[in-house]
Amino acid sequence: MVAVLSVEDLHVYYGAIHAIKGVSFHVEPGEIVTLIGANGAGKSTILKTISGIIRPKKGKIRLKGDEIHNTPPHGIVSMGVSHVPEGRRVFPNLTVLENLQVGAYTRREKREIEESLEDIWKRFPRLRERMNQMAGTLSGGEQQMLAIARALMSKPQLLLMDEPSMGLSPMLVDEVFDTIKEINASGTTILLVEQNAQMALEVANRGYVLETGEIVLQGNAQELADNPEVRKAYLGES
């Protein structure tokens, strides 16, 4: 079976700074794979490079075997990759509905878009209630749900999620992770970047630990959660 995502010897620079140093990993169909690590480890940079926002200096990124590292962002979305960015980044001066319609911009079939909207309303009933409300007036949790819903409107094969629990209350964090599990159970493969390593490893199948732009540990999620180094560095154990 061909991996949904394959990243091979990825090198990314910000000017003279070597941010990503030869990273390789893969995501298989139906998996949740998580990248964990401290702030500045390079997690968000990897997601931005996969989605075409940043161009790599070296390395290959393949989606179901097709190289995408030279494809522009809108082309990557059309190929089946959606990105839920760090900080939510909803369009504050558009309504909830308009934000969702923007998420479907690569699609042409009006009936299928309407069906996707109905699925979104069922999954996120609060968004239906606020359909005509400006996105900038939503609570932080509602904006996170909208950012996820907007990404789902392109019907992705692969969903990139960058810090979905950031800035949310513990109750809303649980809700977001329940949503992640539901999205995955409905057939969407997920690559998850998350500061909350404990929650990430609870929902993921496998994980990779990043330090200063390099993968230093990898394994199934339970192995990583049981690893003393991981427990000390990322799970708050002394």
**Considering only CA atoms, which of 28, 24, 23, 35 is closest in space to residue 197?**
35
Q: Which residue has the higher pLDDT, 71 or 238?
A: 71
Q: Is the pLDDT of residue 209 over 90?
A: yes
Residue span of the structural domain in which 211 resides: 12-90+156-234
For residue 190, the model assigns a pLDDT of: 98
Within a 13 Å sphere around the CA of 159, how many CA atoms are in the beta-carbon half? 31
Inside any domain, residue 76: yes
Q: Is the pLDDT of residue 235 over 80?
A: no
Residue range 53-64: average pLDDT? Answer: 96
**Considering only CA atoms, which of 22, 14, 8, 12 is closest in space to residue 67?**
8
Inside any domain, residue 226: yes
CATH classification of the domain holding 194: 3.40.50.300
- Domain count across the chain: 1
Residue range 209-227: average pLDDT? Answer: 94
**Considering only CA atoms, which of 85, 88, 103, 175 is closest in space to residue 138?**
88
Q: Is the pLDDT of residue 225 over 60?
A: yes
Q: What is the pLDDT of residues 75-118, one digit of tens each?
A: 999 999 999 988 778 999 999 999 999 888 887 788 888 899 99
Inside any domain, residue 139: no
Residue range 225-236: average pLDDT? Answer: 86
Q: What is the pLDDT of residues 111-148, one digit of tens each?
A: 888 899 999 999 999 999 999 999 999 988 899 999 99
Q: Is the pLDDT of residue 237 over 80?
A: no
Q: What is the pLDDT of residues 145-199, one digit of tens each?
A: 999 999 999 999 999 999 998 888 888 889 889 999 999 999 999 999 998 899 9
Global pTM reads 0.92
Inside any domain, residue 73: yes
Inside any domain, residue 26: yes
Round to whole Å and give the CA distance between 196 and 204. Answer: 12
Inside any domain, residue 105: no
Q: Is the pLDDT of residue 238 over 60?
A: no
Q: Are 99 and 132 in contact (CB under 8 A)?
A: no
Inside any domain, residue 214: yes
Residue range 20-45: average pLDDT? Answer: 95
Inside any domain, residue 110: no
Confidence of residue 16 (pLDDT cuts 50, 70, 90): very high
For residue 169, the model assigns a pLDDT of: 84
